Amino acid sequence: AQSVSQHNHHVILSEAASLELGCNYSYGGTVNLFWYVQYPGQHLQLLLKYFSGDPLVKGIKGFEAEFIKSKFSFNLRKPSVQWSDTAEYFCAVNAPQAGTALIFGKGTTLSVSS
């Protein structure tokens, strides 16, 4: 079945550590890729998105993601995390040939200690 996989369920880091969260998808053809963040008690917010062009996408709050088509991956990175980055992170994929909906991964909980 077509799916979105986030390999890390829970990541624990100290402040200033570097972050990389993995996301792989199994859809062929053209895909649109997203990372969403959900801070404690808040609604889902868009961090960044990729539709075409430069495979290295920069988002808000210093986050970036790299689309590697050959690996079906869209990993999220941040060079130096802050305590305020503690949140749940969701990767999502839209494959236009499969419909309009965003298909989400199960999410990765990031805990940053100060």
Partner 1 sequence: DTGVSQDPRHKITKRGQNVTFRCDPISEHNRLYWYRQTLGQGPEFLTYFQNEAQLEKSRLLSDRFSAERPKGSFSTLEIQRTEQGDSAMYLCASSQDRTYGYTFGSGTRLTVV
Give residues in contact with partner 1 (CB under 8 A): 4, 32, 34, 36, 42-46, 49, 51, 90, 92, 94, 96, 99-107
For the bound state, the minimum distance from the C-beta of residue 46 to partner 1, rounded and expressed in Å, comes to 5
Q: Residue 17 or residue 88: which is nearer to partner 1 going by CB?
A: 88
Report d(CA 79, CA 113) in Å as an integer.
16
Report d(CA 29, CA 96) in Å as an integer.
9
For the bound state, the minimum distance from the C-beta of residue 101 to partner 1, rounded and expressed in Å, comes to 4
Residue 54 backbone zone (phi > 0: left; psi -120 to 50: alpha; other: beta): beta
For the bound state, the minimum distance from the C-beta of residue 106 to partner 1, rounded and expressed in Å, comes to 5
Q: Which residue has the tokens 């309009």?
A: 100
